Homo-oligomer: A and B are copies of this chain.
Amino acid sequence: MGREFVEKEKIVESLNWRYAVKLYDASRKVSEADWKLLEDAMLLAPSSMGIQPYKFIVVKDPETRERLKSVSYGQTQITDASHLVVFAYKKTLTDTDAEKLIDRIAGVRGTSRESLADLEASIRSAAKKAVDGGYVETWNSRQAYIALGFLIETAAMMGIDATPMEGFDAERYNEILGLDDHAAVAVAAVGYRDAENDWLAPLPKVRKDPADLIVHV
Q: Are A5 and B58 in contact (CB under 8 A)?
A: no
A34 at the interface (CB under 8 A from B): yes
Other-chain residue from B6, B166, B185, B210 in contact with A10 (beta carbon distance below 8 A): B6
The proximity string for A residues 129-167 relative to B, scoring 1 for CB distances below 8 Å and 0 otherwise, is 000000000100111011111101110111100001010
Say whether B214 contacts A105, CB under 8 Å. Answer: no
Point out the residue from B43, B59, B138, B164 that lies within 8 Å of A146, measured CB to CB.
B164
Is A195 interfacial (CB-CB < 8 Å)?
Answer: yes
> How many residues of chain A are within 8 Å of chain B by beta carbon?
83
With A153-B154, A177-B217 as contacts: A3 and B159 at CB distance below 8 Å: yes
Q: Is the CB of A41 within 8 A of B11?
A: yes
Number of copies: 2
A158 nearest CB neighbor, chain B only: B4
Q: Across the interface, name the chain B residue whose C-beta is closest to A15.
A: B44
Are B213 and A11 within 8 A (Cβ)? Answer: no
* Cβ 8 A contact of A1, one of B12, B13, B192: B192
- Give the residue name and chain of the B residue nearest to A143 (CB): B145
Bound Cα distance A216, B108 (Å): 24
Residues on the B chain within 8 Å of A2, using CB: 28, 159, 192
Please state if A44 and B205 are interface contacts (CB–CB under 8 Å).
Answer: yes
**A residues in contact (CB < 8 Å) with B:** 1-8, 10-18, 20, 28, 34, 37, 39-46, 48, 50, 52, 54-61, 64, 101, 104-105, 108-109, 138, 141-143, 145-150, 152-154, 156-159, 164, 166, 177, 185-186, 192, 195, 203-210, 213-217
Q: List 15 A-B contacts (CB under 8 A).
A: A6-B14, A11-B37, A15-B40, A15-B150, A43-B208, A43-B210, A52-B207, A54-B213, A60-B217, A104-B206, A108-B204, A141-B142, A145-B145, A145-B148, A177-B217
Q: Given A41-B153, A43-B207, A101-B206, 20 other A-B contacts at CB below 8 A?
A: A1-B192, A2-B28, A4-B159, A5-B158, A6-B14, A8-B34, A8-B37, A12-B37, A15-B154, A50-B207, A52-B208, A61-B217, A64-B217, A108-B206, A109-B203, A138-B138, A142-B185, A143-B145, A147-B149, A149-B150
